[in-house]
Amino acid sequence: MIEKHILKLLEKNNRVIIPDFGAFLKGSGSSKNIFFNEFIKVDDGLLINSIIENEKLSRNDVSQEIAEFIEKVNTELSKKQKSVIEGFGVLFKDEKDKIKFEIDEKVIIPVIPEKKSKTVEKEKVTPVKKIDKKQTKMENPAPIKKETKTEKKKNTTLILILFIVILIIILAVLGYLYQDDIFGNKAKKEADKIELIKKAEKENQAASLAKEKAKELEMQNAKEEAKLAEIEVKEELALKNQKFYLIGGVFKEIQNAKDLLSELEYEGFNEAKFIEIDGLNYLCYNSFISYSKAKAELQNAKDKGYEVWILKH
């Protein structure tokens, strides 16, 4: 369903954003010049509103459809497979692990004609009539000189305004033609900058935690360890009726996730299974009574490249 809306929207738009995933961008000059940018993912409402209007679905239903589409594509790409978008093309990852798009040869998307800038006609300057010599002798020439200077000043002002208008039009046209490249590169730079900041923060946090842990270990004694053990036992007893589940995905049908379950078992998650909560099937890597143990296993799964979160139930 989503595929046909993406294709239809690209016929009249230069960009279609799939929220929280990426955007299909249409280049200029060719109906085959379609590419994918994984850094533009902020929802502009175009895709969701189109599906709501044409399919008569609620916003929640449309959001769920989009989430399932994204999950399907990510699952296929994580297995180094091509994700086929029916009637449109395929998504795949290159050697640098970047998502690329290859359009189907049968697909023809109309090219949006470039907007032509309006040319400003130059003002016609009427020639000054020749002044009769006799008339010049009889009249005071001073007013004539004033009028000439005023006309020159007006002409200079008009030329300056005309130059500014033409410059603004040229800049507007260039901005419209290359807006996707400009904002795409800006978004990539911003994403790289944020990634570097996060990495630095993690390294600083790790160093701080290591220092704090070293100090704690030096200051700890047998009595403090006993107290900590006692507190942990009390917490486990208090939470005996609750568990912390390590969740890897939610599916309406169990059959749709058998491949992922087999992959988890192969990676060493022998406790992986499905649990049913509120009518939905949750793919559970493991369950724990202690939150700290669940958190440690969560990091282990993330280090192996899996999208995992903790569910308390």
- Check: CB of residue 299 under 8 Å from CB of residue 310: no
Q: What is the mean pLDDT of the chain?
A: 80
Residue 307: per-residue pLDDT = 84
Q: How far is CA 74 from the centre of its chain?
A: 15
Q: To 5 degrees, how large is the angle CA 260–CA 252–CA 42?
A: 80
Domain edges within the chain: 2-103, 241-312
For residue 173, name the pLDDT band (cuts at 50, 70, 90): very high
11-15, 186-190, 292-296: which has the minimum mean pLDDT? 186-190
Which homologous superfamily does the CATH classification assign to the domain defined by 241-312? Sporulation related repeat (3.30.70.1070)
Q: How does pLDDT run across 21-33, given as a tens digit for each residue?
A: 999 998 776 566 8
Greater confidence, 106 or 198? 198
> Does the pTM of the predicted model rise above 0.85?
no
Distance CA(283)–CA(261), nearest Å, equals 8
The contacts found for 111-120 with CB under 8 angstroms, 24 or more apart, are 111/28, 111/29, 111/30, 111/31, 112/12, 112/14, 112/26, 114/28, 114/173, 114/177, 115/173, 115/176, 117/169, 117/170, 117/172, 117/173, 118/169, 120/162, 120/165, 120/166
For residue 131, name the pLDDT band (cuts at 50, 70, 90): very low
- Check: CB of residue 108 under 8 Å from CB of residue 102: no
Greater confidence, 109 or 198? 198
Q: How does pLDDT run across 190-206, given as a tens digit for each residue?
A: 889 998 999 999 889 89
- For residue 87, pLDDT over 90 is answered with no
